[in-house]
Each structure stands twice: as structure tokens, then as C-alpha cells.
Amino acid sequence: MKILVADKISETGVSLLKEQGFEVVEAYGSSPEKVIQLSSDVDAIIVRSATKITRDVFAAAKNLKCVGRAGVGVDNIDVEAATERGVIVMNTPGGNTIAACELAFTHMLCTARPIVQADASMRSGKWDKKSFEGIELNGKTLGVIGLGRIGGNLAKRALAFNMKVVAYDPYLTDERARSMGVEKVELDALFPQADYISIHMPKTAETKNMINAAALAKMKKGVRIVNCARGGLIDEKALAEALKSGQVAAAGLDVFENEPLEAESPLRGLKNVVMTPHLGASTVEAQENVGIEIAEAIASVLKGGMIKNAINAPSVDPATLKVLAPYIRLGEVLGTILQQIADKDVKKITIKGWGKMTSYDNLPVMRSVQRGYLHKIAQDINDVNAPRAMKRLGIEVQAHSSNTETDYTDLMSVGAECASGEKFCVAGTLIGKSQKPRLVHMNGRDVEATLAGYLLIVENNDVPGIVGHIGTVMARHGLNIANMSLSRNSVGGVALNICSLDSKPTDEAQKDLFTNKDIKAVHLVDLKK
């Protein structure tokens, strides 16, 4: 397998890939056209922040299975295009945490004490003490916007400097805030009380320019702002105006909306802003860490192992995957059955689990059901692009856990709701030490059928002679019945017969079943891969 390393990572990471038998193409600083050319036959691509992996790259890279970002942000990767093509996108959120945190803290110190400006003055031959008066961190309030790994580590360091820390994060729980010694607040409450603000949010449609003119006006006059997260979180023109007016006393910026920063940017001429060229991960330790981490993650995916730190697919550790593997197989086959017995106008699928599987994240199992449902109706479907394909079909997918009592220790049901109002449901469990999947429920009836080969599902009036008729027709067409399950809800009602067949019945064989007037419906489920 071939891996394109488009941006330079640590030599240790590259060596790791070569030692595991991968062909590694090191093409640092390649033009966009060259990247497209080199991607034509690679199985994986590794980048940092310089190389852009665009929709054109994904279109050219027919063998591509995964893209790895040696760093946190994936702004330079078209994740939507990757997802459409079933390509896993991974990053390394832990490798540069300390490096990014320490840079943000350095910028905060530089906004408090004009070290950079004083150094420039000294180098020009001056001794100007009066122009470089600063303020202390001690006793001041730091507002952290985004209390993830980096923001959380920054908060710890601020507390050590005897600062009060207030934090806004839509996913921050009261318990975590208390355990960290910070005060959880809403964003509009953070602005007017913070002496310093450090931003640690991802760039999304919702967070783009979240620090704009209106937000700056709500802040305490003389606030100091640091952004070492993502460019585009701050409206740079509005920030420049606030720096000129004194509403913002100083700023420290490591990231910018357009990188490299334009020569005509209004920020370049301001003396109260310190800028660095996206150095968040630029430490020896961080580069070594992220290089090794992304190399290990890429190698694992290409060798069929666990997916780690995926942006667009479930990430499951090996121990959890070992437990969930039988449920993932069960979910896939139930999804396949549901698609083949339900109407074509399915609008909603509901997955419900009981037992051991409910103790784990249900996302891998949820994706397996979607993958199974799409198996016969779409090509090249995997855990990455299955949700997108379901959305295109207009199908909503929900998953729930249940602790209600059932006849089985472990049970999974998959139901379909159609636009016509009709509903379908299949349920399965795991049997024996080998944990083989078994169908135990279909459309309101208890059944027992092995989930392999072909399932011939026959609905008929509950009258004598049906089993004999089915057996006769199958024998006439040379079809061997490996197993038969019979079920009915009431005497004389509509019964269900499920036959497990070793080979696929022809259309003529299925048609022959209707020579008996008590046969109401026939479905064939193909479980062959």
C-alpha cells in the first residue's frame, strides 16, 4: 500500500510507516496540481496545515481510504467530499495540546507586558522605560471560550497565576467546571467581566466571526484578546478598529482568516498586537508526538485495525471493538433484512438495543445497521458515508437503549416507518459461545431463523398443508431447506414461514408458491455478501 506524506512530519513517523511495509512518497511543498497527480494511486495521505486536500484530490484518488492531519484543525481538508467518497479523515487532537496551550499563555503574557515591543525598542538603540508599562495577571479575570483540552490546560495555568477563570463552552457540564475550579457562564456574561479572553473553539458556520464588532462592544474596555485556535473566529477588521480605539488594549494572534496573512492586513501596522505565523504546534515535542500519532493511526486503518480520532467515522478502542463486534455483525444483517422486506418509501429507521450493548457508545452499531440497509441499494458504502447516503434517501435514523424486560439477555430491534404509514420490524439476538446472530422477531411474530444464505419469507393463511406445499415446490425446483421456522399470532389467522435455503430460488420457484390460494405474500432476503 502507498502513502503520500504531503507535508513534513517527524522522521520517526515516516520511519514507522516504512518499517511496517508501506511505500511512502515524501512530497513536501508540492503544488496543488502535483498533489492531485501523486494522489492517483495512494491509499492514504498525511498532511499538516499547508497542503489542501480538495474535492479534486478526492476525485483523483480512486484508492484513497484515509487522510490524516498531523494536528488538530482540518480546515485544509474537504471533509464533506471525503465523507461522500467514504474516506476516513483523522486528526491528532492530543499531540500538540501542551504546545498550543503554552503558546496561548505566552501570548497572554505578551499582551500584559509589552515584551516584544520593548525588545524592538532596545534593538533600535533606545532605553525607553515609560512607554512599556504593563499590567499583572494576578487577580485578573480570564475568560476562556471553549474549555476543551487546550482551553482546560490554559485554565489550570491561569489559576496557578492567581487568576479568576470564567468559561463558556456549550458542552461544559457544571460538574466539570466545578472540578476544574472555573465558573461556567454564558458568552454574553463572559464578555463584560473578563480582563483577558482566550479563544479555543473550532471553526464552524456558527463560530465564524463570533468575535465581531458587536461582541467587542460588549467587552470590558481595555480587554486583552488571544486567539491561538483557528483563523476566522475573529472579525479581523473589527478587531483592528477596536485595537485602534483602545476598546481592546492588546491582542495576541497565532492564526488568521487567510494564511499567510495578507501584506495589506490592518493588523500589521498596529503596535499593540503580537502576531506569530501559526506556531501552535511548532515545538520539537509536539511535532514528534503528532507525527508518530498520525502514522500509527494511518497504519492501523490500512491494516484493518481500529479507527482513532476520526472526524467523520466512529472511533473505537480495540477492547470496546472486541465486545461490540458481534453486535455490529447483527446490526448489519438486520439492516439488510429490513431493507429487503420493507416498502421503498421508508422515511424513518429506529434501532433499539437491550443488554450488554447498551453499556457502550451505540454509534458503531448504528452505523452497521445503516451499512446493512444500504448494502443492496448503493455502492461503496462504509461507516463514513453511510449516514450521508441515508440522508440523501430522506431516511431519518434514531437509536435508543432500553432497560425493559425481554426474553433475551441481548436483543436488538430495527424498525422501519414508511411514508404510507406501514411499519416493519425485525429483531435479533446472539446465540451460544460463538455469538452467532439469530432472527427472533419479525413484524409482530416470534420466529427463530439463522441469518445466513437466503431467507424465503412466506405469509399464509393458517390452514393445514402449507408446510407440505412449500416443501414440494422447493423440491421441484431443486432447493434444499436448511431450516424452517413457523409462527402465528392466532389460530386461523395469518401465519409466517421462514425457510433458510442453501441456494437462491428463481422467480419461477417463488411464483409457483402462489399456486396455493392460501399463500398471501412471499419475500426473498439475500444475505450473501
Q: Which tens digit of pLDDT belongs to each residue from 458-473?
A: 999 999 999 999 999 9
Catalytic residue among 84, 241, 259, 288: 259
Average pLDDT on 191-211 reads 94
Q: Tell me if 309 is assigned to some domain.
A: no
Q: Tell me if 380 is assigned to some domain.
A: yes
Average pLDDT on 355-374 reads 88
Confidence band (pLDDT; 50, 70, 90) for 314?
confident
Q: Tell me if 280 is assigned to some domain.
A: no
Average pLDDT on 257-268 reads 95
Q: Tell me if 429 is assigned to some domain.
A: yes
Regarding whether 102 and 90 lie in a shared domain, the answer is no
Cell 489542501, residue located? 52
The pTM of the full predicted model, rounded to 2 decimals, is 0.62
Q: Tell me if 176 is assigned to some domain.
A: yes
For residue 365, the domain's CATH number is 3.30.1330.90
Which structural domain range is residue 208 located in?
97-275
Which pLDDT belongs to residue 93? Answer: 80
Catalytic residue among 48, 85, 200, 278: 278
What CA–CA distances, in Å, run from 367 to 22, 363, 381, 462?
29, 6, 11, 38
Q: Based on the residue annotation, tell me whether 230 is a catalytic residue of this protein.
A: yes
- How many structural domains are present in the chain? 3
Q: Tell me if 308 is assigned to some domain.
A: no
Regarding whether 462 and 442 lie in a shared domain, the answer is yes
Regarding whether 325 and 289 lie in a shared domain, the answer is no
Regarding whether 357 and 344 lie in a shared domain, the answer is yes
What CA–CA distances, in Å, run from 241 to 88, 113, 193, 217, 250?
41, 21, 21, 11, 12
Regarding whether 399 and 474 lie in a shared domain, the answer is yes
Question: Taking a C-beta distance cutoff of 8 angstroms, is the pair 65, 42 a contact?
Answer: no
Regarding whether 483 and 388 lie in a shared domain, the answer is yes
The percent of residues in the chain predicted with pLDDT above 90, rounded, is 73
Q: Tell me if 206 is assigned to some domain.
A: yes
Confidence band (pLDDT; 50, 70, 90) for 318?
low
∠265-268-269 over CA atoms, to 5°? 115
Confidence band (pLDDT; 50, 70, 90) for 356?
confident
∠38-40-43 over CA atoms, to 5°? 95
Indicate the residue type of 400: H
pLDDT tens string 18-32: 999 999 999 999 999
Catalytic residue among 230, 367, 371, 441: 230
Q: Based on the residue annotation, tell me whether 259 is a catalytic residue of this protein.
A: yes
Closest CA to 355 of 427, 419, 299: 427
Regarding whether 481 and 375 lie in a shared domain, the answer is yes
pLDDT tens string 222-257: 999 999 999 999 999 999 999 999 999 999 999 999
Mean pLDDT of the chain: 92
Regarding whether 289 and 228 lie in a shared domain, the answer is no
Regarding whether 102 and 84 lie in a shared domain, the answer is no
Residue that is last in its domain, among 267, 302, 337: 302
Residue that is last in its domain, among 233, 267, 302: 302
Beta bridge partner(s), residue 4: 25, 45
Residues 48 and 295: their CA atoms lie apart, in Å, by 12
Residues 202 and 170: their CA atoms lie apart, in Å, by 12
Average pLDDT on 160-166 reads 98
Cell 484515509, residue located? 66
Regarding whether 72 and 192 lie in a shared domain, the answer is no
Q: Based on the residue annotation, tell me whether 448 is a catalytic residue of this protein.
A: no
Regarding whether 376 and 388 lie in a shared domain, the answer is yes
Average pLDDT on 497-520 reads 94
Q: Tell me if 310 is assigned to some domain.
A: no
Q: Above 90 in pLDDT, residue 377?
A: no
C-alpha cell at 169: 463552552
Closest CA to 280 of 117, 92, 120: 92
For residue 130, the domain's CATH number is 3.40.50.720
Residues 70 and 281: their CA atoms lie apart, in Å, by 9
Regarding whether 102 and 50 lie in a shared domain, the answer is no
